[in-house]
Amino acid sequence: MRVTIYTDGAARGNPGPGGYGAVMHYVDPAGKLHVKELTQGFRRTTNNRMELLGVIAALESLRRPCEIDLYSDSKYVVDAFNQHWVDGWLKRGWKSAKKEPVKNTDLWKRLLAAKEPHRVTFHWVKGHAGHPENERCDELATESADNGPLLVDEGFEQTGGLFQ
């Protein structure tokens, strides 16, 4: 199965209320397009955490291994894989090249687990540049951040914001 996923995250203040949006496209063997949208808001979080959660939510929603083209306007997410930052973090025991703890390790670990059964190719798209699916993801993320319902981002709130 080939699936195309678009994701975005938003935070009103950093930290502040936030949300993610994901739009998933699948064309079945008969040529019919199926579209699924995912979104959720959180009461206190960061933009980077919402960028990660958008990807995680989309990957975790898949029921079987897929070939995925994933589009995000987050260099943080895309470069972590395309520039092999994640490989270095794993080799160094979740330490950055500067030997500092990697931020958001709870979500990076969850993302790696969600990604495991799939073949994912990460693509960067310029945000707020008129790309229809990226714009829709932004609408979903900001709507959830602004109007809830807002969940607790436990990985952020329970650590006093240590994971940013």
73 among known catalytic residues: yes
The single residue of 18, 138, 153, 155 carrying the catalytic annotation is 138
**pLDDT given at position 164:** 44
Domain count, the chain: 1
34 is in which domain, residue-wise? 2-153
Is there a domain that residue 107 lies in? yes
Contacts of 93 (CB under 8 A, 6+ apart): none
Is there a domain that residue 145 lies in? yes
Q: Please tell me the distance from the alpha carbon of residue 81 to that of residue 49, in angstroms, as a whole number.
A: 16
The single residue of 54, 73, 133, 155 carrying the catalytic annotation is 73
41 among known catalytic residues: no
- DSSP letters, 84-149, are -HHHHHHHTTSB-TTSPBPTTHHHHHHHHHHHTTSEEEEEE--TTSS-HHHHHHHHHHHHHHHH--
Is there a domain that residue 163 lies in? no
Q: The tokens of 98 are what?
A: 């500067």
Is there a domain that residue 161 lies in? no
**pLDDT given at position 114:** 98
106 among known catalytic residues: no
Report the Cα 44 to chain-centroid distance in Å.
17
Is there a domain that residue 142 lies in? yes
The single residue of 19, 51, 133, 155 carrying the catalytic annotation is 51
Q: Strand 67-72 to strand 119-124: parallel, antiparallel, or no bridges (unpaired)? A: parallel
Q: The tokens of 48 are what?
A: 């980077």
Q: Which positions of the chain have pLDDT values less than 50?
A: 163-164
**pLDDT given at position 128:** 85
Phi/psi of residue 127, nearest 5 degrees: -75, 150
Is there a domain that residue 164 lies in? no
pTM: 0.94
Evaluate whether 45 touches 161 at the Cβ level (below 8 Å).
no
Task: Please write the tens of the pLDDT for every residue from 82-126.
Answer: 999 999 999 999 999 999 999 999 999 999 999 999 999 999 999
Is 73 annotated as contributing to ligand binding? Answer: yes
**pLDDT given at position 160:** 57
Q: The tokens of 138 are what?
A: 């932004």
Is there a domain that residue 160 lies in? no
Is 51 annotated as contributing to ligand binding? Answer: yes
- DSSP letters, 19-82, are EEEEEEEEE-TTS-EEEEEEEEEEEEE-HHHHHHHHHHHHHHT-SS--EEEEEES-HHHHHHHH
9 among known catalytic residues: yes
**pLDDT given at position 159:** 66
**pLDDT given at position 75:** 97
Q: CATH number of the domain at 54, please.
A: 3.30.420.10
